[in-house]
Amino acid sequence: SVHPFCGGVPSDVRMTTRYRTDEFLSSLMGILHETGHGLYEQNLPRDLGHWPSAKARGMATHESQSLFQEMQLSRRPEFWAFALPLARKHLGAEHFEGFEMEDMLAHVHRVERGLIRVDADEATYPLHVILRFELEQELISGRLAPKDVPEMWDARMRDYLDLSTIDNPKDGPTQDVHWPSGAFGYFPCYTL
């Protein structure tokens, strides 16, 4: 999928990911994020599923579990003590030659400006959320016309991350599935 997602019920959770053949961490982090959703959903009470008390507490809680998995647990040395040998085994040890645990930890903790929210590091991720929330406020209030979103997006990306998307809408305002699906006001869920 272009944008990873997870859905289902406690007894049947399904997820998708996206992958790059030249870099496995983007796929892995996407899967780990969606695993947070899946684990949350699978741990809801199955025998009380018809009662409101057994339902998910909302998407903010859902996203908190996903981001905890992706941004916290998967960046711990204990996780990589488990995962790095598996990556070597399944992706080929030759791809990890000279790449040790310290290198992996430095890599997953690297702070780097980027265009794509789902690939952002823990430090720049909130800026991606703020940008979207501010544009949503402008759109909903009528101060920003939909046709002007690409230019405003570019201006905010330049302000916050010193990056431009003006000739690249797929890495700009159309990179997420939220707005096309009508999920306005959703992005603050990623801040809990």
Residues with a known catalytic role: 34
Which tokens is 102 given?
């310290």
Count of residues making up the chain: 192
Question: What count of other Cβ atoms lies within 10 Å of the Cβ of residue 53?
Answer: 8
For residues 31 and 37, the answer to whether their CB atoms sit within 8 Å is no
Are 157 and 165 a contacting pair, CB within 8 Å? yes
